[in-house]
Amino acid sequence: MLPDTSRPFHVVCDASDFAIGCALMQFDAEGRERVVSYQSRQMKPAEKNYPVHDKELLAMRYALIKFRVYLLGEQTFAVYTDHASLRTAMKSPHLSQRMARWLSFFAEYNFVVHYKPGKNNILPDALSRRPDYDPRRLTRHQDIPDDDDDDDDRATCVTLGINATVSSPVLPLRQQIADAGRYARKVDAPNA
């Protein structure tokens, strides 16, 4: 849906253990909630160690940055999160340095935080739990079958749990790599 600047925007956001997701939403003329834009990303290694409420605030901050052009200077808009304590966390007298920095960033915007139960916060929940972001689903190291046979003209690639075998009519993969190495040595040291 194209954004309608005559209608108010609202933001939904969520964080999981490994990613954050958010969406900029509006209600259309018929009163149906529509997505204007959505964003998600994996957390950086340090962000994965944040406490839960900081992860949720990270998702909120990410949403405000991504949708800044629509939200900055806007009338009061709503931010929905499935973490109830965020409504009070921002008023706590005991703030970490990170939260203090983020609160100064949040002060630029005119928004109210609302609690939305996780079962109703479906879109950002799905964005923050994309399977391709989940490090538990990514294959870190799998053994590639040994293809030492000189007559074998197949290369096997194993990534993200998908086995793909590609046939090459020219040369086996190991032979291509060996030939490329010999060529590189000749170019680097032609008199050797």
Residue 149 confidence (pLDDT): 46
Structure tokens at 65: 């940055």
At 182 the pLDDT is 63
Each residue's pLDDT tens digit, 76-106: 999 998 877 776 666 777 778 888 898 889 9
What's the full length of the chain, in residues? 192
Q: For residue 11, is pLDDT > 90?
A: yes
- Asked if the structure places residue 2 within a domain, the reply is no
CATH number of the domain residue 82 falls in: 3.30.420.10
Same domain, 57 and 33: yes
Q: Say if residue 124's pLDDT is above 60.
A: yes
Q: Does residue 164 share a domain with residue 124?
A: no
Is the pLDDT reported for residue 150 higher than 50?
no
pLDDT for 141: 45
For tokens 């920095």, the residue is: 101
- pLDDT tens, position by position, 170-185: 456 666 666 666 655 5
> Which residue would you say has higher pLDDT here, 160 or 14?
14
Phi, psi of 3 (to 5 degrees): -65, 140
